[in-house]
Structure formats: C-alpha cells, structure tokens
Amino acid sequence: MNAEESIARWVRPELRAIRAYHVPDASGLIKLDAMENPYPWPAEMLEEWVEVARTQAVNRYPDPDASAVKQALRVRMGLDDRFGLLLGNGSDEIIQMLAMSMAGPGRSLLAPEPSFVMYRMIAEFTGMQYVGVPLNPADFSLDLPAMLDAIETHHPALVFLAVPNNPTGNCFDERAIRAIVDASPGLVVIDEAYTAFSDGNYLHLLESNPQVLVMRTLSKEGLAGLRLGMLAGDRAWLEQIDKIRLPYNINVLSQAAVRFALAHETVFEAQTRLIRAQREKMIEALRGHAHLQVWSSAANFVLVRAPEGRALEIHAGLRQAGILIKCLHGSHPMLEDCLRITVGTEAENQQFLQALDSIL
C-alpha cells in the first residue's frame, strides 16, 4: 500500500478534509499580520534575563503545576482564591483541552461569526459539530435572537465569545452576553485575548456563573513566543479539564521567562499604552481615505474594508513594499474586501500608511 492509500484508510475523514492552518513566510517583512507586540525587550532587561536563564535546569522536567507562574498571574489578574486557574501552551491549547473534554457524538461548539478561526478548526479536529452564528453585519454586534435560537436548537456543550472579537475588533454588549450565559446549557468561554487593549473585562461574570470561564493569553501583550494562555473559573470545572492537560505543557524556560516578565510588567504596560495610542492614530489616518471603511477597535489591530475588488491587490502591493498584513477577503461572507492590520511601532505604521497611500 502506498502512503496515499494508507492515509485514505487510516486518517480520520474529517481530518483529511481540513486544510492546514497556513502561516505565511514573513522573513524580511514588517509583520503587521499576527497581532504581535512589535517591541523587543529593553537591553537591560535582556541582560538580566540571560542571568536568570543561566540558572534554569533544562535537564529536569518543569513544575507540572507551574504554581509560581500561576500565583504571579493570579495577583496580576486580581483573581480570587475561590476560583481555579489552568495554564495552556497558548490559549489555543486551552481551546483544544476544552473541546477534548466535552467532545462526543451530538456535542457541538458554538461561536458567533466571523470570529477566531481556531474555534471551528479545533471543533473539527475533535469531532465536535461546529455551529457558527452570524454577527449583525452592520456593526458586528451579537445577533442575540439568532444566538438564543441556535443555543435552543443545538444545546452546545461549548460557546466561545471573543471579547474584543478577532477579527472585527469590537466588544460585545454585556446584556447580550449575560442572556447567552443564562440560556446556555454548557460552558460559556469568554476569550479575552485582547482585553489589555480594551477598557473592561468579564472576570466579574465568574462570581455568580459557575459555567462561565474566562480565557486570556500573554501573546498579544508581548510574549507570543513563550506560548502562555490561562483559563480562570470554577474550581470543580477546571479540575475536570485539567485531567486532559499533558503534565508538562508549560516548559521550564517559559515558566521562568513568564515569571521574569511579570516582575517587569510595567514595561509591558507602557508598551500596551503606546500601542493603544498608535491604534487611534492609525484609525484616524485610515479614515482620511475616502474609499476605505474603517471600524473602531478595542484591540491591537484595525479592520478595514478596501474598495470593492481591491483587497488582494492592496495586500500584494503592501507585500511588495515589505509589509505583511492579513487579507480576510474570502474567509467569510461578512469580510468581503476586508484587511486586518496589526498596530506596529510608530515607524512601522508610518511605512504602512505611506505604502498604502501610494497603492490607493
């Protein structure tokens, strides 16, 4: 049997049908495509880190509970001891753990659309039915009646709400979120990947709702390379999900680097403030283009709609000019002609805006 035949025989059909998550080659380009923090660590901090790294025993397995990291994160989040905290190798891994603990025949995962693509992909990997409910096309707010209908029809085991939402950049209305929580038979996960760039958060929903879990990540604030996501909520729920976590999912260097970084959190907070200010400047500059539709954003990226039929050309033109952004055209009917630009440094944003000017 050749490889193709044995693959067809053995690899799960739903997996064979999935296209792999594509990460474009960004070498030599200004990266405004993946919501990374554009600032490297200050030189002094790097020196200090090298000293810390020297003392790490990489020949030993890491602390399986990452307790010191968790304690530092609890303090930072202001998370009450009544609640549990679970860590993942990025929040992507947490989404996977949640799906793996709930998957089974007839189990579904529901999310508004367009939203974070990993919800659908992980539902498919784990054999869950994925239910996507369109947002209101005018302003990307939750279509509450449609959400409630879909919840009643599908009884989802998991509902994911990204607040602020990726790729639309807006926050959902608290009353709508509460109504979804009240109607949901299973878990509702509030994905706060971008909460540092917005004005509020939903940690308070944990108080009276044991089926609500709040998920965060350090990726967008500056530690994408370390891969650390966290899930906060009811201890009994998290104990169940923790059974599916691989014992050493947070490696020695990540644990040490996250603790080190959290001890220097003012550096990241200053960078976040800078990114937020730059975001407003970028929005203002983009709104100067009569032919672009520009949405406001509570995250570290901006969503724009290009003139009809021009998104691919603009994306390619920017690439020619050495700038990588994300083209969303074709990814969802509501994102026709749309482009997503991550906020970079002031110099990077300037270069982007100039290149865009010459293309338009």
Among 33, 36, 92, 337, binds ligand PLP (CB under 6 A): 92
Sign of dihedral through CA atoms 259, 261, 266, 272?
negative
CB of 227 to ligand PLP, least distance (A): 6
- Residue 51: is it exposed, middle or buried by C-beta count within 10 angstroms (0-12/13-18/19+)? exposed
- Which residue's Cβ lies closest to ligand PLP? 90
**Site for ligand PLP contains 222 (CB under 6 A):** no
Closest CA to 122 of 168, 155, 87, 157: 157
**Site for ligand PLP contains 219 (CB under 6 A):** yes
**Site for ligand PLP contains 112 (CB under 6 A):** no
User: CB under 6 A: which stretch of 60-68, 97-105, 216-224, 348-356 binds ligand PLP?
Assistant: 216-224
**Site for ligand PLP contains 90 (CB under 6 A):** yes
Compose the 228-267 pattern: x for residues touching ligand PLP by CB under 6 A, - for all others.
Answer: -x--------------------------------------
CB of 176 to ligand PLP, least distance (A): 18
Q: Considering only residues 278-307, where is the footprint of ligand PLP by CB under 6 A? A: none
Closest CA to 272 of 30, 39, 72, 45: 39
Among 37, 217, 254, 255, binds ligand PLP (CB under 6 A): 217
Sort strands 129-134 and 108-113 into parallel, antiparallel or unpaired.
Answer: parallel
Among 166, 249, 271, 300, binds ligand PLP (CB under 6 A): 166
**Site for ligand PLP contains 91 (CB under 6 A):** yes
d(CA 283, CA 288): 9
CB of 271 to ligand PLP, least distance (A): 17
CB of 194 to ligand PLP, least distance (A): 7
- Residues near ligand PLP (CB under 6 A), total: 13
Q: Considering only residues 11-70, where is the footprint of ligand PLP by CB under 6 A? A: 35
Among 103, 193, 258, 356, binds ligand PLP (CB under 6 A): 193
Closest CA to 285 of 341, 222, 220, 327: 341
**Site for ligand PLP contains 73 (CB under 6 A):** no
**Site for ligand PLP contains 124 (CB under 6 A):** no
> Based on CB atoms, which residue is closest to ligand PLP, 244 or 347?
244
Which chain residues interact with ligand PLP by CB under 6 A? 35, 90-92, 116, 162, 166, 191, 193, 217, 219, 224, 229
